[in-house]
Amino acid sequence: MTTPTSYDVHAIRAQFPILSREVHGKPLAYFDSAASAQKPQAVIDAQARYLSHTHSNIHRGVHALAQEATEAYEGAREKVRAHLGAASTREILFVGGTTDGINLVAQTWGRVNLSAGDSIVLTRMEHHSNIVPWQMLALERGFDIHVVELNPDGTLDGDQFEQHLNRGPKLVAFTHVSNALGTVNDVKHWTARAHDAGATVLVDGAQSVPHLAVNVQELDVDFYTFSGHKTYGPTGIGILYGKEALLDAMPPWRGGGEMIGTVSFENGTTYNELPYKFEAGTPHISGGIALGAALDWMNGVGMASLTAHEHVLTQHAHARLANVDGMRFIGTAPCKAGVVSFLIDGVHPYDLGTLLDQLGIAVRTGHHCTEPLMDKLGIPGTVRASFGAYNTVEEVDRLAEAVARAAAMLR
């Protein structure tokens, strides 16, 4: 059991300066990429190079730096378009992150299209960022939220999904990959079924884009979001993809410079064309450029190689951890990506995470911003080990040994 031989994990690790750190006197084993991924030198350099050589405000200005900065930023937008397989850069919006993107859709498309008597469909496994914006809007607009529950293995209850679709919801919003369970949902299938029912579809891609190749046209989703910082890029930047016809029909969200056509006190103000209609003010220019560099980096490794490597790690983690007394895996879907969530009988996840930290192993514990899921499962949270391009089989062995040692202390 090994990663395909063309994947040189040590050469990849060497590109991540932070991985040479020690924590509590031990080498860092970073198993928290689902919370945020580490950054390769190429991404750090791209951001630093922009700030050192190219920085200027973009989209206006006649001088050379303004032109270079604009080309770099818009060049990054084109990289995102190509990476997602979108038809046009008019469909690629730079936003603050996945959370920001979902709030944008809720406050524009949602505000126009959802009111009392309407319903939307969410799922039990959603991250708070794909729940709370809809709850906030529902309080104002009066529509209902129906929840698709889960099977014991952490997959969506397909029968119930169909039942909810039968009610003719206006929107179906769900995650591509669960950050708590690792479940990979069949986005193409459920998008088609939702469209058959007349619904618009928003998919949270925060945990999929770092791990899987995604083609938004093939999936036929209406909205798709992801975050730069989970895909080896910087924080504070993300992408909202939307079909052009939908984005055209939506009112703008934030008002200000850049998103306008003309501004007048006397004659009214007009708005800019896509994508700028939704990009008010000076953006996170260095962030957008670094996000483009992060996508270049991932494609340099190869998405298929990344997916395969992480699959090996996930399988290995399951196999090694299964031998620990009292082990209970949370999320056992046949199709999973990049995440192993677990509990040890009689042990609070927080305690386990504390002791793993002492051994230099970074995992995340708690409800992972999926409190409705944890409540339904009747657990305070889980211990979650999540994998990235730089994790090794040896690190997974270290994790399993540490879990066994910590569990013995705590049981």
Q: Which residues are catalytic?
A: 369
Cβ atoms within 10 Å of 362's Cβ, excluding its own: 17
The encoded tokens of residue 56 equal 């200027």
> Least distance (Å) from other proteins to the CB of residue 375?
14
Q: If you search the block for the tokens 């103000």, which residue do you land on?
A: 269
Site membership for other proteins, residue 144 (CB under 8 A): no
Per CB under 8 A, which region of 215-223, 247-255, 277-285, 346-354 contacts other proteins? Answer: 346-354
By CB under 8 A, residue 88 contacts other proteins: no
User: Between residue 358 and residue 377, which ones bind other proteins under the rule CB under 8 A?
Assistant: 358, 365-366
Task: Give residues 152-211 in contact with other proteins (rule: CB under 8 A).
Answer: none
Count of residues that bind other proteins according to CB under 8 A? 15
Using CB atoms within 10 A of its CB, is residue 68 exposed (0-12), middle (13-18) or buried (19+)? Answer: middle
Q: How far is the CB of 367 from other proteins (least distance, A)?
A: 8
Q: Binding to other proteins by residue 103, rule CB under 8 A?
A: no
Q: Which part of the chain contacts other proteins (CB under 8 A), choosing from 15-23, 93-101, 240-248, 347-355? A: 347-355
**How many other CB atoms are found less than 10 A from the CB of residue 338?**
26
**Looking at beta carbons only, is 80 or 406 nearer to other proteins?**
406
From residue 114, alpha-carbon distances to 141, 145, 163 in Å are 7, 11, 20
In b/e form, how buried is each residue of 124-150, taking b as 16+ CB within 10 angstroms?
A: bbbbebbbbbbeebbeebebebbbbeb
Task: List the beta bridge partners of residue 239.
Answer: 94, 226
14 binds other proteins (CB under 8 A): no
Figure out which of the listed residues 48, 245, 335, 409 binds other proteins, where binding follows CB under 8 A: 409
**Interface residue with other proteins, options 190, 381, 385, 399 (CB under 8 A):** 381
Which residue's CB is nearer to other proteins, number 26 or number 55?
26
Interface segment toward other proteins; rule CB under 8 A; list 104-112, 281-289, 343-351, 389-397: 343-351
Q: Which of positions 19-38 make contact with other proteins (CB under 8 A)?
A: 24
Cβ 26 to other proteins shortest distance, Å: 11
For residue 122, what are the contacts with CB-CB under 8 A and spacing of at least 6?
Answer: 130, 131, 134, 145, 146, 147, 148, 173, 174
CA distances from 195 to 66, 116, 169 (A): 43, 21, 10
The three-class DSSP label of residue 271 is strand
Structure tokens at 70: 């604009």
Complex with other proteins: residue 350 or 397, whichever CB lies closer: 350
Residues forming contacts to other proteins in the complex (CB under 8 A) are 24, 347-351, 354-355, 358, 365-366, 380-381, 409-410
